[in-house]
Amino acid sequence: MILLMIFYSLIAFKFCSGEYQPSLSNDLVRNYAHWFVYLACMGFFLAIMYVTIYSYQKMVKIMIEKINLQYEELKQKNEELRNASENIKVLKGLLPICSSCKKIRDDKGYWNQIEEYIDKNSEASFSHGICPDCLKKLYPEFVSDD
Shared domain check, 12 and 80: yes
Distances from the Cα of 54 to the Cα of 60, 67, 68, angstroms? 10, 20, 21
Shared domain check, 131 and 67: no
pTM, to two decimals: 0.40
What's the total number of domains in the chain?
2
Shared domain check, 7 and 68: yes
Shared domain check, 108 and 77: no
Distance from C-alpha of 120 to C-alpha of 117, rounded to nearest angstrom = 5
Q: How many CB atoms lie within 10 A of CB 15?
A: 15
In a domain, 136, yes or no: yes
In a domain, 91, yes or no: no
| Residue 112: strand pairing partners | 104
pLDDT number for residue 130: 82
Residue 87 main-chain phi, psi, to 5 deg: -90, 0
Q: Per residue of the chain (146 residues), what is the pLDDT tens digit?
A: 566 567 766 766 666 666 655 554 455 556 667 677 778 878 888 888 888 889 899 999 999 999 999 999 999 999 999 888 776 666 667 778 888 888 888 888 888 888 888 878 777 777 778 888 888 888 888 877 65
In a domain, 94, yes or no: no
In a domain, 11, yes or no: yes
pLDDT number for residue 107: 80
Contact 24, 30 (CB under 8 A): yes
pLDDT number for residue 25: 47
- For residue 142, give the DSSP letter: G
Residue 129 domain boundaries: 104-142
pLDDT number for residue 22: 55
